[in-house]
A = this chain, B = another copy of it.
């Protein structure tokens, strides 16, 4: 039995859902995996850098009843909280990946298994972060970054050894899916944004989704890890959904080939990757044809398999949190704790 000190960097909807899921799965973690846990630190903009020698009370934390604000900074926070595992869920910065990259580096340097739901650090700093993780013999995992909960990175790491990805096609963004479907029903772009916000998938400013940046981050992270090819956001052909009007969308839908914001990446013979994120018409018979509403999907062409499609239907906050929990369990299974 190993008791893990968990720290949360960011404690918004996903972090809270993860804390709740850890509580719900406590008995299963203990009985099936030999994992016990306590929360040793939480850092948010509002709360500051909170660290504790004793376990922080989860229910009080979730209820928001014991806010404190301290001015520590990442390194002193890590030194005080002494985490075995850090869950990083701060918000996306698609231009540089900062400050998340610095947080993740510090966490790995500290010797914690480091698990992120943040795409940008994979895009801008995967090699560096991975090297620190290897040097420190700690896990650095990020399953929740692409399909929220459905396995993609662990799929290739664990279940598809010696398989090569020739290309992939993704429907990676539920905000645009919901907006386009709202407009197909004859309503406006603004109403589509509002619907996506009500469903909890769009942020107050939906630009990252609408203009394709969220999808591009996913394409670049996948290219780097499963195609082993660095790909920068500016190398991806990008076209958002703002140029589509309801009439065009309704005609496409009537034709049986509605528009989606589609992500594509193809491995070229010279080892480079060509990638795009743009609206495309997708027939119902297409592997991603069934990805509607808030669902997400990816289709792979592999050297040893003509086609493999993974669809995550209507993932919710608990699903995203599960992606982080699965990473935690896999860190535990693949690197037995040092002090037991």
A30 to chain B, nearest CB (A): 11
Residues of B with C-beta under 8 A to A307:
295, 311-314
Q: How many copies does the complex hold?
A: 2
Among the 9-residue stretches A77-85, A242-250, A322-330, the one with 4 or more Cβ atoms under 8 Å from chain B is A322-330
A 108-134 binary contact with B (CB < 8 Å = 1; else 0): 000000000000000000000000000
Cross-chain contact B287 with A149 (CB below 8 angstroms)? no
In whole angstroms, how far apart are the Cα atoms of A286 and B295 in the complex?
13
Cross-chain contact B161 with A326 (CB below 8 angstroms)? yes
A 302-340 contacts with B by CB, 8 A:
304-316, 318-319, 322, 325-326, 329-330, 333
A 143-159 contacts with B by CB, 8 A:
143, 149-151, 154-155, 158-159
Residues of B with C-beta under 8 A to A310:
308-310
Residues of B with C-beta under 8 A to A305:
149-150, 312, 315, 318-319, 322
A312-B307, A316-B306 known; A32 and B155 CB under 8 Å? no
Cross-chain contact B304 with A149 (CB below 8 angstroms)? yes
Cross-chain contact B319 with A314 (CB below 8 angstroms)? no
Could you say which of B155, B161, B163, B304 contacts A159, with CB atoms under 8 Å apart? Answer: B155
Residues of B with C-beta under 8 A to A151:
155, 159-160
Residues of B with C-beta under 8 A to A155:
151, 155, 159
Residues of B with C-beta under 8 A to A161:
33, 326, 329-330, 333
In whole angstroms, how far apart are the Cα atoms of A81 and B284 in the complex?
52
Cross-chain contact B306 with A308 (CB below 8 angstroms)? no
A292 sits at the interface (CB 8 A): yes
A 200-254 contacts with B by CB, 8 A:
none
Interface residues of A (CB under 8 A from B): 21, 25, 28-29, 32-33, 143, 149-151, 154-155, 158-163, 284-287, 289-290, 292, 295, 304-316, 318-319, 322, 325-326, 329-330, 333
Q: List 16 A-B contacts (CB under 8 A).
A: A21-B304, A149-B308, A150-B305, A158-B159, A159-B330, A161-B333, A163-B326, A285-B290, A287-B290, A287-B311, A306-B313, A306-B316, A306-B319, A307-B313, A309-B311, A310-B310
Given contacts A161-B329, A162-B329, 15 further A-B contacts (CB under 8 A): A28-B162, A29-B162, A32-B162, A151-B160, A154-B159, A158-B158, A158-B159, A159-B159, A161-B326, A284-B289, A306-B314, A306-B316, A306-B319, A309-B311, A310-B310
Listed from nearest, the 9 A-B pairs whose CB atoms lie closest are: A307-B313, A158-B158, A151-B159, A154-B159, A304-B322, A309-B311, A161-B329, A305-B319, A306-B314
